[in-house]
Structure 1
Amino acid sequence: MKTIQLCFLWHMHQPYYTDPLTGSASMPWVRLHATKAYFDMAFLLERFPEARSTFNFTPSLLLQLEEFSTGRVRDLFLEYAQRPAADLTPTEKAFLIRHFFSANWATMVRPFPRYQELLVKRGVDVQGQDLDRLARQFSTQEFLDLQVWHNLAWFGYGSLQRFPRLAELRAKNRGFTEEDKQEVLALQQTAIRQIVPMYTALQEREQIELTTTPFFHPILPLVIDSEFTRRARPDLPLPARFHAPADADAQVRRAIDYHTHTFGRAPAGLWPSEGSVCPELLPILGKAGIRWLATDEGILYRSLQMADQAWNRHYHLYQPYAVGTAEQPLTMVFRDRDISDAFGFVYHKTTPESAADDVLRRIRGLAYDIPLENGLLAVILDGENPWEHYHDGGERFLSLLFRAFEQDGLPIGHGIRVQLNTVSKALEAVPPPQRLEQLHSGSWINQDFKIWIGHQEDNRGWDLLQHTRARLVDLTPSLAPDKARAAWNELYAAEGSDWFWWYGDDFDTDYKQEFDRLFRTHLRNVWTYAGVTPPDILNQPLVEARMPQGLDLVQLPLALITPTLDGMVSNFFEWRGAGTINPTPPLGAMWKSEGLFTSIFFGFDREHLYLRLDLDERSQTRQQHCTADLFIGSGIQQYKVSFALAVEGADTLLLSRADESGLYRDRGSYNTICRRKILELGIPFKELGIEIGTELRLTLTVSEHGMEIARYPHHSPATFNRPGDDFEATMWRV
């Protein structure tokens, strides 16, 4: 029988927020995720004893769970939550107004009437100068209710079922007492204490496998030698060379030791931080006793390219590979990017039933197509952040998925079966049939390290890290063992990837300045533990001021255009003056690679609206299964222009209009569309009933197998007016 081993690997990670010198943490995410994702996932597996999964816990997360469960560390948010509402200072009230709505509003605020009421009173777009004024408008009872709801909303389905009192408090909704609040915080502490025992018990009955990551989640190839950046990106400007293979070894060995101490068993597998690998990493892992590691399919693709092997995804991706040496054998597994990313970015937009059906459809299709008698399909993703976007925390979706494998796997027919398994057990059934002769140096994001090095802010951070490390090397022989250990621990914390993730212009967050401060705090602590005054440069922020999020995503048209709709760039001037929508991922807390378009243009003449899509050639296979909808809003009217992205499907477009119930009714099909090198289309304004001067709102969405996977612009529609005869003269005057 042909058997495909399906392996889920859920990566649980938080950076090290703790300042050991003060015994406090500024950020609440370990504590809040603990009562939701960490607790929920273990609770769900307890209900499905035949379901198998692999969980990867970073030691920096496990250490903080231990700190919180023993009460050694409290975060700033917890301190403000514990404060009696009647005793809050004006500064503390402003802090609550600013930060205690930090949750997914659609799934964790709006479902609860009192929490939503408080958000409406505060407003959805609050500037720093408004906080004091807004805080004065809230009563003591409202602040108390806010303190409770900020923590109560973060409990997931597992803790709600384990602790029925939480459901009673949610039903109470408002008018909480200080005793209610302390009860919520006490249950939070109880849930945190149960997490490690829950996962340990699942491990002991062989239902799950527990794996690790280098201790503080560093990008190990850059720690080994920052010059490895040039292998994938020779164009990037780099800081002074950072070369510390001993630190990479220490991050791995300390991770294994702490994991063994926590769970009573050494890990066999490792997820390298952000899937970052290089050949020089393999002997470090082999010597430490690691038997397998995983990364992204893009790394496999680039590695096979290096060996002049033609890429056959169905054949190459769904098998493990031998790497390392005969003395230190290692196995590598590569994640299916499409399915893995769909869990985080697509399935929360649809129903649990549709999401589960889609996963099973993909798996069944692959089971037929994989040309191997024994294959391995790895689905690897963040195990905590996605569930905030699911209205029930992902409970029904995952339940439907696990239930499909309860009876000895998923039967496909024709002698094919898919079996859910841990990675180590799957590798026993599917040993690597071939050796990977070359290994590309890169991460799961674009198969390079650009996120963490190359920008001015990144490079300044690496220079500070290098300077601090060099000084610590000099001072270590003169330090007492405990001081040396503490100083090196803080240096390793500063090597974590999360600080560099937020430097540069790749991503943005409201907490960017805080991540910068935490990085410099860890570096300052190195000097302090070493008995030396930290240099003043560590007091100076690295982050630069930039435009507010989203302002650079849309550029409006500057001139009238009348392109020839032939799917070709007929001449340079054809689209000159058109507006643009930036197709790159939005700044945010999760990275998403859509890879569909390299450019998006829109524009108009006096009678028509035009759209041009420059399709990314690298995603041609995916485009065959995608459809696009161009939504055009005007006042209360909403139109939709639907078309396929596939070459053979882009010869007609369908226009429809939303009725009063929001249902779209067909208005007709048109052949004013063509796809060849590019995709171009046009729609007459008269078919949209749009008069000159009317404001239009434009949004483009892309769906795959009926599920939305991308939206442009990412945050809000492109807004402009239908041009009149004086449009260009007006733009010229401007």
Structure 2
Amino acid sequence: MSDKRKLKLVLCWHMHQPEYRDLQTGEFKLPWTYLHVIKDYVDMVAHLEAVPKAKAVVNFAPILLEQIEEYARQVNGYLHDRISITDPLLAALVDPSIPADPEERMRLVKDCMRANRERQIDRYPTFKRLIEMADWLEHHYDSLTYVNSQFISDVLAWYHLIWMGETIKLTDSRIKRLIEKGSGYTLHDRIEIIEVIAEQLTSVICRYKALARKGQVELSVTPYAHPIMPLLLDLNSTCEAMPDAPLPELDTYPGGEERVKWHLDKGVQTFKRLFGFKPKGCWPSEGGVSGQTLKILGDFGFDWTASGGSVLHNSLNLPENGKKPGIHHPFKLQETDIACFFRDDGLSDLIGFEYSKWHADDAVGDLIHHLENIAVHESGDKVVSIIMDGENAWEYYPANGYYFLSALYQRLASHPHIELTTFSECLQNKVDVKPLVKMVAGSWVYGTFSTWIGDADKNRGWDMLGDAKWTFDKVISVGRLTDKQIQQAELQLAVCEGSDWFWWFGDYNPGEAVSNFEKQFRLNLANLYRLLGEEPPAYLAMSFTQGSGAPAMGGAMRPGVELT
């Protein structure tokens, strides 16, 4: 089969973490950025390096790139000059003195229990025993007095060892030796672990950049702090896919279009500084699109964007769109200058939610069988887009998805009827771009914005953000801030506008995650008021949302199609 007749397949991995720093103190409040670097971002680039004929699109949120850069600076500063690290968990790993206070010890132990029990903790019998002891200590708090420093040292060392990517565990002699050691970890051992962490933080962005130079990876970008652009532009766009959704008291987000353009400009600036070129594509935060969003992205100079398959299904059901073409094509909305690809929700969700329970070879074989069926039964020049969270799925797989991803890239790269490609290559090769008269606004989650707006707690978050934005606009208009103060306030506002805070609000989610993210949201808003020289509203001192749910995969991922 000629290359022109092969089924085109784009694997797009979206790498994203919100801003976990308190921008006023510099302290990292949660450790997920550096943990996902050493586990997921490093593994993904290593899999691609191992199969040079494989291709993929990798999308980075700019605010994630900045945090990786800051972690690399701090960890190298510690190793070279003993400069302190502002992430409490990472700092504890190399602290010569284990805290004596029982409450501080328990906090460290609990922080080191945040991992997948089956795939990360239970995999290592020694660490499993330590965590079983920690479980017991949670219910016998008075016994903490008798817990010695070696227990805390071993828990800290093991926690960082289990978060190491599988490609590191298989190739790094230091990590192999420390895993085999099993117990009695010394300060020297823990410093060795942070040396490995420093190497990964320092090199990971450069490794992706090298693959982009070779043409093996297309790198793309999101708006700077990962806001839901259609909602900043028009909160009422919620109702296009959810006509009866309750909305915030806030009628419209003030100055939303200006803020969207700020996030796009700042995002591209950050991307260009770190990768050296302007990206051709933009994965909009959470695949959130609307007609107005596509117009702005096209005007901004992007060649392509993408969204969820349910958005396309909703749009094709509109009478204005007439004939119903197949979903495996890019589309161009009339009066816009950008091609929009749409995620195959079924295939993407199989990887995200099902294949972790399968043997790797069977899972890859099943995926290829689905792709072969598409190639045979759908006519025309087809592009299948598998678009996924690039970090959260793999902890549910054996060995962090090592066997699945290895087999996936190897078998797809050598398949006679499937061509791994990128979105930009598809457009360069003149794939058929279908016309779309009208689009229904939505995201890659269910084709709606229900994950970020439409229930009481999420709407309350929008009203709090709206109050802060009105204050921002008022203070800026009177001209009492210096240029530097305005820049600091703009950056703080951008963090508040990020999508992740709203994702976690509400009963659907686990209590600890909801608590962590709503505290960070209130802290971010309070910091914004202080930067503006205003007293934060009293309500920012009070929790406004709690979670009690147990969603699939811990709530960090959602399927593209709502289960009924």
- Whether the 8 Å CA contact 1:283–1:324 is kept in 2: the answer is no
**2:260 maps to 1:253:** no
Residue 131 of structure 1 deviates from its aligned partner by: 6.6
Say if 1:323 and 1:435, in contact at 8 Å, map to a contact too: yes
Structure 1 residue 427: Cα displacement: 2.1
Q: Which residue of 2 aligns with 1:460?
A: 460
Is the helix fraction higher in 1 or 2?
Answer: 2
- Whether the 8 Å contact between 1:213 and 1:271 is mirrored in structure 2 is yes
Cα shift at 1:516? 0.6
* 2:377 counterpart (333, 357, 369): 369
Q: 1:16 to 1:165 in 2, by over 3 A?
A: same
In 1, distance between residues paired with 2:100 and 2:252?
46
Report the Cα offset of residue 27 of structure 1. Answer: 0.4
Give 1:586 deviation, angstroms. Answer: 8.2
Amino acid paired to 1:362: H
Residue 182 (str. 1) matches residue 229 (str. 2): no
Aligned to 1:589: 556
Q: Which letter maps to 1:488?
A: E
Q: 1:382 to 1:131 in 2, by over 3 A?
A: farther
Letter in 2 for 1:167: K
- Whether the aligned pair in 2 keeps the contact of 1:272 and 1:295 (CA below 8 Å) is yes
Please tell me the residue identity of whatever aligns with 2:347: I
What does 1:544-693 correspond to in 2, within 5 Å?
Answer: 544=546, 548-549=548-549, 588-592=555-559, 598=564
Contact 2:509-2:549 at 8 Å conserved across structures: no
Residues 1:311 and 1:274: Cα distance change in structure 2 (over 3 Å): farther
1:169 equivalenced with 2:172 (yes/no): no
- Give the deviation of 1:304 after TM superposition: 1.2
Name 2:251's counterpart in structure 1. 241
Instruction: Check whether the contact 1:307–1:438 (CA below 8 A) recurs between aligned residues.
Output: no
Q: Deviations over 1:692-717 (max 9, x none)?
A: xxxxxxxxxxxxxxxxxxxxxxxxxx
CA contact (8 A) 2:310 2:561 kept: no
> What is the Cα deviation at residue 108 of structure 1?
1.1
Q: Is residue 2:200 matched to residue 1:191?
A: yes
- Give 1:590 deviation, angstroms: 2.4
- CA deviation string 1:377-414 (max 9, x = no partner): 1100011111111111112211112112344xx22xxx
The aligned residue for residue 90 of structure 1 is 102
The question of 1:52 aligning with 2:55 is answered: yes
Please tell me the root mean square deviation across aligned C-alpha atoms, in Å: 2.0
Question: Aligned in 2, Cα 1:461/1:433: closer, same or farther, shift over 3 Å?
Answer: closer
CA deviation map 1:272-307 (0-9, x unaligned): 111111111122212221110011111111111113
One-letter amino acid of the counterpart of residue 400, structure 1? A
Return the offset for 1:585.
Answer: 6.0
Structure 1 counterpart of 2:251, one-letter code: R
- Could you tell me which amino acid in structure 1 is paired with residue 506 of structure 2? G
> In the alignment, which of 545, 549, 554 is matched to residue 543 of structure 1?
545
Please name the residue that 2:228 is paired with.
219
Equivalence for 1:228? 237
1:63 matched to 2:69: no
Q: What is the distance in 2 between the residues matched to 1:266 and 1:216?
A: 18
Instruction: State how far apart, in whole Å, the 1-side matches of 2:552 and 2:151 are.
Output: 37
Contact 2:226-2:285 at 8 Å conserved across structures? yes
Corresponding residue SS for 1:510:
helix
More displaced 10-residue stretch of structure 1: 257-266 or 398-407: 398-407
Q: 114, 118, 143: which is aligned to 1:106?
A: 118
Taking the aligned partners of 2:191 and 2:104, their CA distance within structure 1 comes to: 18
Partner Cα distance (2:392, 2:400) in 1: 10
Match of 1:141 among 131, 147, 150: 150
C-alpha distance 509-210 of structure 1, shift in aligned 2 (>3 A): farther
Gaps of 5+ in 2: 78-84
Letter in 1 for 2:192: E
**Selected match of 2:285 from 245, 264, 273:** 273
User: Structure 1 residues 364 and 184, CA, compared in 2 at 3 Å: closer, same or farther?
Assistant: same
Alpha-carbon displacement from aligned partner over 1:643-677 (angstroms, at most 9, x marks no partner): xxxxxxxxxxxxxxxxxxxxxxxxxxxxxxxxxxx
| 1:109-142 Cα deviation digits (max 9, x unpaired) | 1121220110122238x86xx3733533532211
Say whether the 8 Å CA contact 1:56–1:271 is kept in structure 2. Answer: yes
Report if the CA contact (8 A) 2:54-2:420 is conserved. Answer: yes
- Residue 115 of structure 1 is matched in structure 2 by 127
Q: Which residue of structure 2 aligns with residue 489 of structure 1?
A: 491
Give the TM-score normalised by structure 2: 0.93
* 1:342 aligned residue: 350
> How far apart are residue 435 of structure 1 and its match?
1.2
Aligned CA distance change for structure 1 residues 14 and 50 (closer, same or farther; 3 Å): same
Residue 17 (str. 1) matches residue 20 (str. 2): yes
- The 3 A distance-change label for structure 1 pair 284 and 113 is same
- The offset of 1:31, in angstroms, is 0.7
Q: Any conservation in 1 of the 2:447–2:560 contact (CA below 8 Å)?
A: no
Q: 1:378 aligns with which of 380, 385, 390?
A: 385
Decide whether aligned partners of structure 1 residues 52 and 134 sit closer, same or farther in structure 2, where only a CA change above 3 A counts: farther
Contact 1:214 1:255 in 2 (8 A): yes
Give the C-alpha shift of residue 198 in structure 1: 0.4
Q: What is the DSSP-based 3-state SS (H/G/I as helix, E as strand, rest coil) of the residue aligned with 1:123?
A: helix
Partners of 1:308 and 1:497 lie apart in 2 by 31
Tell me, yes or no, if the aligned pair for 1:286 and 1:324 is still in contact at 8 Å.
Answer: no
Deviation, 1:446, is 2.1
Partner of 2:366: 358
CA contact under 8 A between 1:216 and 1:495: conserved in structure 2?
A: yes
Q: Structure 2 vs 1, CA of residues 433 and 422 (structure 1 numbering), >3 Å: closer, same or farther?
A: closer
- Work out whether 1:389 is the aligned partner of 2:401: no
Find the residue that maps to 1:378 and give its secondary structure.
strand
- The secondary structure found in structure 2 opposite 1:442 is coil
How far apart are 1:213 and its partner, in Å?
0.9
Residue type at the aligned position of 2:25:
T
Q: Distance in 1 between matches of 2:140 and 2:497?
A: 35
Q: Contact 2:507 / 2:549 at 8 angstroms: preserved in 1? A: no
Q: Find the counterpart in structure 1 of residue 512 from structure 2.
A: 510
**Is 1:473 aligned with 2:476?**
no
Between the aligned partners of 1:277 and 1:454, the Cα distance in structure 2 is 17
C-alpha separation between the residues in 2 aligned to 1:523 and 1:184? 36
C-alpha separation between the residues in 2 aligned to 1:236 and 1:111? 44
Given that 2:360 and 2:403 are in contact with CA atoms closer than 8 Å, whether structure 1 keeps it comes out as: yes
CA contact under 8 A between 1:97 and 1:134: conserved in structure 2? Answer: no
SS in 2 for 1:204: helix
The TM-score with structure 1 as length reference comes to: 0.72
- The 3-state SS of whatever aligns with 2:17 is coil
Identical aligned residues as a percent = 31
User: In 2, distance between residues paired with 1:396 and 1:249?
Assistant: 41
Where does the alignment leave 5 or more consecutive residues of structure 1 unmatched?
412-416, 551-583, 599-734
Per the alignment, in what secondary structure is the counterpart of residue 442 of structure 2? coil
Give the 3 Å change call, closer, same or farther, for CA 432–330 of structure 1 in structure 2. farther
What amino acid maps onto 1:235 in structure 2?
D
Provide, for residues 432-472 of structure 1, a one-character-per-residue CA deviation record: whole Å limited to 9, x for no partner: 34211111111122222122112221122111111111111
Deviations 1:19-50 (A, max 9, x none): 11101111010010100100111111111111
Q: Which has the higher contact order (CA 8 A, sep 6+)?
A: 2
Tell me how far apart the structure 1 counterparts of residues 107 and 305 of structure 2 sit (CA, whole Å).
Answer: 42
- Cα 1:585–1:387 change in 2 (3 A) is closer
> Contact (CA 8 Å) 2:20, 2:30: kept in 1 or not?
yes
Partner residue, 2:82: none
Contact 2:321 2:438 in 1 (8 A): no
Residue in structure 2 matched with residue 322 of structure 1 by the alignment? 332
CA–CA separation in structure 2 for the residues paired with 1:162 and 1:522: 40
Query: How far apart in 2 are the matches of 1:100 and 1:304?
Result: 47
Shift of the 268–586 alpha-carbon distance from structure 1 to 2, 3 Å rule, reads closer
Q: Which amino acid aligns with 2:150?
A: Q
Cα drift, residue 101 of structure 1: 1.5
Inter-partner Cα distance in structure 2 for 1:217 and 1:134? 44
2:284, 2:305 within 8 Å by CA — same for their partners in 1? yes
Whole-angstrom CA distance in 1 between matches of 2:554 and 2:292: 32
Deviations 1:29-88 (A, max 9, x none): 001010010011111111111100000101111111011111186322223333335444
